[in-house]
Amino acid sequence: MAGTLYLVATPIGNLEDMTYRAVRVLSEADLIAAEDTRNSIRLLTHFGIRTPMTSYHEFNKYDKGRELVDQLLAGKNIALITDAGTPGISDPGQEVVRMCHEAGVTVTSVPGACAAVTALIISGQETRRFVFEAFLPAEKKERREVLSRLKDEERTMVIYEAPHHLKKTLAELFEALGDRSVTIERELTKKHETLQKTTLAEACAYYETNEPRGEYVLVIAGADHKEAVKAEQAMWQESMTIPEHVKYYEDAGMDRKEAMKAVAKDRGISKRDVYRELIGGE
C-alpha cells in the first residue's frame, strides 16, 4: 500500500500557532521533507519531534520530488514542511503534489498559518473576494504586465514583499494603480506585529524616512469603477456649466445632437436634462 503525502502548515512567527495535528502528523511520519532542514530542526526540537528529515526545496524539486514519490509508493508516509506557513503558497510543494497525483499517491493537508489569509482578515479591506498575487515577478516586462492588469482588478489584492524591495514595489504600485487604500502588515503573529492602514501615496512618503524591516504583506483595495465614474462626473460638473460643456464639444467639431449626447454621458444625466438646461441658458 502506498503511503500518504501530508502538506503540513507550520507557524509564520508564533510557535503557539502550531496545531496539535501538525505535531502528531510530523511525529508519526516516516520522513519529513523540509525546505531548510537547519531551520526546521529548531521547530521540531521545540515540539520534541524526532522524525528523520530530508531536504526538499526549489532547486531539487524535480529530482527530489521523484525520490519522494518512490518512497511514498514503497509505503512511507511523508510530511512536507517549509520554513514558515503553508507549503505550496510561495513555497515549494506544488511540484511534488503534481507528481503524487500522477503516480496515484494520496495527498492531504494539515492546515494552519498562511501569511496571505492572516493579513487579509485583519486588513480592514474587503474580504469577500480577493486575489493572491504572491511576490510580483522580478522580471521587468512580466512585472509591468502584472501591474497593468492589476490596475483594473476589482478584488482585494494580497501581495508578499521582502523588506529590501518594499519601497520600489510601493512606488510602482502607486504609479500603476494611482492612490489606493492599502494595509501594510509586518511581522504578523510576532511580538512586533504592525498594521498600517494608509494609502499608496502616503506609504511611499512614509518609507522615504523609515527603513522597512521584517516580513511584509500588502493588502490593497480593488479598483472601484463606480467611484471613478462618479469622480469624473463631478469633475465635469465642477469645471463648466451644461451650455459650456455642449459648446466644448461643438467647438471640437460635433453637431449639437452629438454634443448633447456626449454631455449627457459625461455627466450621467439624461439628454432631456441637457436640453432643458440649454434652453434655459439660451
Summarize as ranges the residues that interact with ligand SAM (CB under 6 A): 12-13, 82, 84-86, 89-91, 114-116, 160-162, 185, 187-190, 215-217
State the nearest-atom distance from the C-beta of 189 to ligand SAM, in Å.
6
- Nearest residue to ligand SAM by CB is 85
Q: Which is nearer to ligand SAM, 84 or 147 (CB)?
A: 84
Give me Rg for the CA atoms of the chain.
Answer: 27
CB 130 to ligand SAM: min, Å: 14
CB of 9 to ligand SAM, least distance (A): 7
Of 193 and 250, which has the nearer Cβ to ligand SAM? Answer: 193
- Nearest CB to ligand SAM, comparing residues 22 and 259: 22
CB of 17 to ligand SAM, least distance (A): 10
Shortest reach from residue 90's CB to ligand SAM, in Å: 4
Query: Which is closer to ligand SAM, CB of 19 or CB of 237?
Result: 19
Which CB atom, from 91 or from 277, has the smaller least distance to ligand SAM? 91
